[in-house]
Amino acid sequence: MALYSEKVMDHFTNPRNVGIIEDADGIGEVGNARCGDIMKIYIKVNDGILTDVKFKTFGCGSAIASSSMATEMIKGKPISEALTLTNKAVAEALDGLPAHKMHCSVLAEEAIRAAIKDYYDKNGIEYDLAQFPEPHDEEEEHAHNDED
Amino acid sequence: MVKSVYVDNAATTAMSDRAIEAMIPYLKEVYGNPSSLHTVGQVAKEALFGARQKIADLIGATVNDKISEIYFTSGGSEADNQAIRSAAYAGLAKGKKHVISTTFEHHAVLHTLKKLEKEGFEVTYLDVHSYGNITAAEVEAAIRPDTALVTVMYANNEVGSVLPIREIGAVCRAKKVIFHTDAVQAVGHLPVNVVEDNIDMLSASAHKFHGPKGVGFLYCRTGVPLKSLIEGGAQERKRRAGTENIAGVCAMASALEEAVSNLDKNMKKQAAMRDRLIAGLSKIPHSKLNGDTKNRLPGNVNMCFEGTEGESLLLHLDAKGICASSGSACTTASLEPSHVLLALGIPHEIAHGSLRISLSEENTEEEIDYLLEQVPVAVDEVRAVSCLWDDLKNGKREHLI
């Protein structure tokens, strides 16, 4: 009956890796305030390994849980592996998200890519642009469902 | 869960014991169909008559025993649909194709109007301003020779503004325009008298005043034409087909009787709790009260907390046993926040962080203490994770409230 799975609620209530890395090697920010969710991910990189990951998110329960889960899934992993993380994997790790909340897991995937791209840009590391598609525009997808 | 504090009474209320008791005989012994000739049917018919009489009395409809002005429906939405479509098409028959409403009506009204627009009607949506209200003069200025209907809510379900219904009704009466009001949030909560308030048509819903869900009524003044939406039998004087929901109707009448007889006491009690909540929650930095500060439902508190998102806020409150609601996008399954908050000109990013607390007379001062203690904690919990709040705090983004 619950809106969210126990996993989602666990990651919402006790989010992992919340915070800011002051001397981050890369920062990724996606979403916008108008749409009600912004995700910001900070990464620390050493020898191609994500030694630390932190996040701050303005958004709903599933946005916060997706951020928490995604950071946990990539922390301590090589960048190459983090780049293969899909939104679907994040959602599955959370034991699923309601259909209209899937965009939250998409934001998590995009925020991680944005942080890695930022790290590459700052360090002059060459990369294949195809790996970093433009985050999609949420405003164009506004569904107009109703309530009450 | 430690305790449960239910403050979502604008969404729905708990049924009162009296309303539940009023249902039982009609679920058990008096199960007859009021259209049947036999005794069990006729007893049911009498109950229906009694409930109609009671409701007519309670909203001031009974002038010269005209109880035929009350039509039972499945709820507020059906009553709104029927009233608006009837009045619009009655106008069309006289060449009138214009309707006046406001931008912050319930979707039962707004979506009916959108449909009428597709059918060739023209609708003027009056601006509700940043303070969340309109004046009778604004309605008067919008009335045209081809205006068929004015439909304006009695009180707003989200921000609690109470509209100047009596004055708007007087303007409509003078201009000979049919006046409908969606009074779903008002009936049982405010003194409503259809004659004194100059109302031609009024919609109400039982579950908003401690009655059951799935039943409501439409008041339609004698002489105002009413078309049926549902074709079938001759129930409700051929205006609403379908075997009557007797148990629901009787419970609704009892619930309304109880609400009206305690109206003054309940209004005072709720208003005092409301004002204490508003004063206390306004101390939260970068918060804002939404809706009309003076003309306001006694049980309504609606506030925005900058840097927060409503659904997160609700989840944290739910974990503390507090049941409230929000106009955030995430609670509506769309990315748009509440159309009501947007109608008040509140920016999207602020509207996402709204909280509605709607009280009933069943709430206690202890519960208000608990809310005053826990809501600020929940706001802090959301802000602690929020990158938007970080940006506001460190000046990267300007505070809007």
* The pLDDT value given to residue A100: 86
Give the residue from B261, B296, B320 where a domain finishes. Answer: B261
Same domain, B236 and B288: no
Q: What CATH number did the domain enclosing B163 receive?
A: 3.40.640.10
Nearest CA of chain B to the CA of A47: how many Å? 28
**pLDDT tier for residue B160 given thresholds of 50, 70 and 90:** very high
**Residue A98 scores a pLDDT above 70:** yes
Residue B398 lies in a domain: no
Token digits for B144?
A: 């045209």
Out of A35, A56, A138, name the one closest to residue B390 (CB).
A56
pLDDT at B387 over 60: yes
Q: Is B120 a domain residue?
A: yes
What's the pLDDT score for residue B333? 60
Question: CATH code at B339?
Answer: 3.90.1150.10
CB atoms within 10 A of CB B166: 14
| H-state helical runs in B215-336 | 235-238, 246-261, 263-281, 310-319
The Cα of A111 is separated from the nearest Cα of chain B by a number of Å equal to: 13
Residues B69 and B188 in one domain: yes
Within 8 A of B335 by CB-CB distance, chain A residues are 35-36, 138-139, 141-143
Alpha-carbon distance of B294 to B102, in angstroms, equals 19
Residue A138 predicted with pLDDT over 60: no
Burial class of residue A102 in the structure, from the number of CB atoms within 10 Å of its CB (0-12 exposed, 13-18 middle, 19+ buried): middle
Within 10 angstroms of residue B193's Cβ, the number of other Cβ atoms is 13
Q: Are residues B228 and B270 in the same domain?
A: no
Query: Helix, strand, or coil here: B354?
Result: strand
d(CA B16, CA B258): 9
User: Closest chain A residue to B354 measured between Cα atoms?
Assistant: A36
Q: Indicate if B159 and B96 belong to the same structural domain.
A: yes
User: Is residue B215 domain-shared with residue B78, that is, in the same domain?
Assistant: yes
In a domain, B400, yes or no: no
Tell me the C-alpha distance between B305 and A19, whole Å.
Answer: 21
Q: Quick one: B169 and B284 in the same domain?
A: no
Residues of B assigned a catalytic role:
330
pTM over 0.90: yes
- Burial of residue B203 (CB within 10 Å: 0-12, 13-18, 19+) is buried
Q: pLDDT by residue (tens digit) across A13-39? A: 999 999 999 999 999 999 988 888 999
Residues B253 and B386 in one domain: no
Domain range enclosing B99: 17-261
- Indicate whether B257 and B324 sit together in one domain: no
Domain membership flag for residue B401? no
- Residue where a domain terminates, one of B244, B261, B278: B261
Pick the catalytic residue from A35, A49, A89, A102: A35
- Is A40 in the B-facing interface, judged by CB distances under 8 Å? yes
The stretch B244-265 carries a mean pLDDT of 98
- For B103, B118, B156, B179, B205, the CA distances from B113, given in Å and listed in that order, are 11, 9, 17, 15, 20
Q: What is the model's pLDDT at position B225?
A: 94
Which residues, in sequence order, are CB contacts of B97 under 8 Å at separation 6+?
B91, B120, B121, B122, B146, B148
Within a domain: residue B137?
yes
- Does A1 score more than 50 pLDDT? no
Same domain, B203 and B318: no
What's the confidence (pLDDT) of residue A146? 40
Nearest-Cα distance to chain A for B331, in Å, is 8
Residue found under tokens 């802090």: B380
- Which one of B238, B261, B284 terminates a domain? B261
Cβ-Cβ contacts under 8 Å, A29 against chain B: 387
Contact B300, B356 (CB under 8 A): yes
* Segment B139-149, tens digit of pLDDT: 999 999 999 99
Does residue B102 sit within a domain? yes
A104 is catalytic: yes
Give the mean pLDDT of B108-128: 98
- As beta bridge partners, residue A39 has A30, A57
A136: pLDDT strictly greater than 80: no
Same domain, B251 and B354: no
Nearest to B250 by CA among B46, B38, B48: B48
What tens digit of pLDDT does each residue of B301-321 get? 999 999 999 999 999 999 999
- Report yes or no: A19 at the B interface, CB cutoff 8 Å: no
Residue B32 falls inside a structural domain:
yes
Residues B255 and B272 in one domain: no
ipTM for the predicted complex: 0.91
When divided into structural domains, chain B yields a total of 2
As a whole number of Å, the CA-based R_g of chain A is: 15
pLDDT of amino acid A137: 64
Residues of chain B contacting A62 with CB distance shorter than 8 Å: 330
The answer to whether residues B274 and B248 belong to one domain is: no
